[in-house]
Amino acid sequence: MAHIMQILEETGAFGVLGPVNAQHKLTVQWPNSPPFEPGQSVPGHLLNSARSQPKVFTDFQGGGNGYLLVMLAHYSGQSTDNQMCHWIVSGVPVSDNSVEVEKGHTLAPYIPPMMGDEGQAQLFFLLLNPRPGAAFNPAAVMAELRGMMPMGPPKLNTRSFLKNTGLEVVAASVLMG
């Protein structure tokens, strides 16, 4: 399998996320589905019927529980400065190749993305950690989410979010919908 940075480049992810330097991948598995590796296509019918949050796995051997897991969707025709935030969990530990979201604190509850035709969306899963010398500030995360849409997922500008919160991408995945 290609390195995560190569996959992010090939899928055009940097146009949405901005400059990131992920060294590890995330693998995502919804209930009753196979695991999806970075760069793979996810059938829309699978996501549209999966109401439960997925399990997330990684090749990252992190320690502690200071990680932030973010799930974003960028839909075709949408500005690259605007992604839909479908899930944010803070204080997430990583253990035995598993991102243990059930042990974290939900900042934005899981909202399944609505997928249409293939090629209509990119789903991003990001495992974030404070940059060296920076501290995680949940208030800054919540401030970035103030642009919530009624009855829908909050809008998020990932570039601005990473810059304003002092977070960096440790592990990532992009799935095509």
Domain ranges within the chain, ordered by starting residue: 55-176
What would the pLDDT profile of 97-124 be if each residue is shown by its tens digit? 999 999 999 888 898 887 665 557 899 9
The CATH class given to the 55-176 domain equals alpha beta
**Rounded distance between C-alpha atoms, residue 141 and residue 75, angstroms:** 22
8 Å CB contact between 106 and 163: no
What would the pLDDT profile of 16-52 be if each residue is shown by its tens digit? 898 899 999 999 999 989 999 999 998 877 777 778 8
The continuous run of DSSP H or E covering 29 comes out as strand 24-29
Output DSSP code: residue 149.
Answer: P
8 Å CB contact between 84 and 72: yes
**Rounded distance between C-alpha atoms, residue 69 and residue 124, angstroms:** 10
Least confident of 6-15, 65-74, 96-105, 108-117: 108-117
| pLDDT number for residue 75 | 84
pLDDT range class, residue 150, cuts 50, 70, 90: very low
